[in-house]
Amino acid sequence: MDFKIRQYKPQDASQLKILLEELVKSEAKKNFLRLPFPKPEYKEVYFQGLIKKINENSTQIYVAEDAGLIIGYVAGTIQFVSGDDLLEFKPVKEGFITDIFVKEKYRKNEIGKKLMKMIMQYFEKQKCDILKLFTQSENDIAHHLYLQCGFSDYNQKMIKVINPDLYK
């Protein structure tokens, strides 16, 4: 497959917003606490948040492009341990991968791996001490990708549901 990975440009905005929404819909299928469909304003609000952080130089987005079509993206942000957390945690600089998504029909072409490689290189150049991300425990494919990229399991979230209506 012929695709290239490059930094996000403002001209990508409309295509990126579609992918943001596709990602959140795919996440909803794996997490019963999510709404089945995000609210209509979701993609604009989330997108504006990303752009604000890009402008503050704390966030980076890379896109995978195939002949002008954006087929995947990864977003990551740099954050620091701050406030009261410094009383109990080491003052690390953290590269946090917030989103990764590849359009369904383009998957299994190593696009995910290449997007991960780009954002990891970016964080390494920025001298981050650690890289972090969250994933659903059911998301075996993403988990497999992250292990391949050198991540390891850290912490485990647990949940007990009191209100069974949440499963509906």
Ligand X SMILES: CC(C)(COP(=O)(O)OP(=O)(O)OC[C@H]1O[C@@H](n2cnc3c(N)ncnc32)[C@H](O)[C@@H]1OP(=O)(O)O)[C@@H](O)C(=O)NCCC(=O)NCCS
Which positions touch ligand X (CB under 6 A)? 23, 26, 100-102, 107-113, 135, 139, 141-142, 144-145, 148
Please, what is the Cα angle at 73 between 38 and 2, to 5 degrees? 135
- Chain residue at closest Cβ approach to ligand X: 112
87 conformational bin, left if phi > 0, alpha if psi -120 to 50, beta if neither: alpha
Nearer to ligand X, 108 or 125 (CB): 108
Q: How far is the CB of 34 from ligand X (least distance, A)?
A: 12
Which residue's CB is nearer to ligand X, number 73 or number 78?
Answer: 73
Residue 51 CA: distances (Å) to CA of 14, 42, 60, 137, 168: 13, 14, 9, 29, 35
**Torsion of the alpha carbons at 9, 24, 102 and 77, rounded to the nearest 10:** 50
The least CB distance from residue 20 to ligand X, in Å, is 11
> In terms of CB distance, is 15 or 139 closer to ligand X?
139
CB of 24 to ligand X, least distance (A): 10
Residue 162 CB, shortest distance to ligand X, in Å, is: 26
- Given a contact cutoff of 8 angstroms between Cβ atoms, the answer to whether 24 and 85 are in contact is no
Q: What residues pair up with 117 in beta bridges, in sequence order?
A: none
Give 78 or 115: the residue with its C-beta nearer to ligand X.
Answer: 115
Please compute, for residue 62, the number of CA atoms within 13 A of its CA located in the half-sphere on the CB side.
Answer: 22
